Amino acid sequence: MDCLDFAATREALFNAAGTRSYSQMLATARGAKAAARWLQGQDLLPQFRKGLGADLPSAITV
């Protein structure tokens, strides 16, 4: 997640999660949802595209 490839969207992830700490982020419902939305938006795991479509809105945008 600290890769330069994701720098443009990372700040939006932190804002949506309410924290910059990844361990804290994944320990809360708000943070876990934000991380799931962000990860889905990066299209790194295309095998999950169908399952999350209706439940998670499109990627977090800046």
Rounded CA separation 19/47 (Å): 28
User: pTM here?
Assistant: 0.69
13-60 pLDDT, tens per residue?
999 999 999 999 999 999 999 998 898 888 887 777 765 555 555 555
User: Which positions ≥6 away from 28 have C-beta within 8 Å?
Assistant: 17, 18, 19
Q: Give the HSE-up count for residue 48: Cα atoms under 13 Å, Cβ half-sphere.
A: 13
Q: Which residue has the higher pLDDT, 9 or 59?
A: 9
Per-domain boundaries in the chain: 4-52
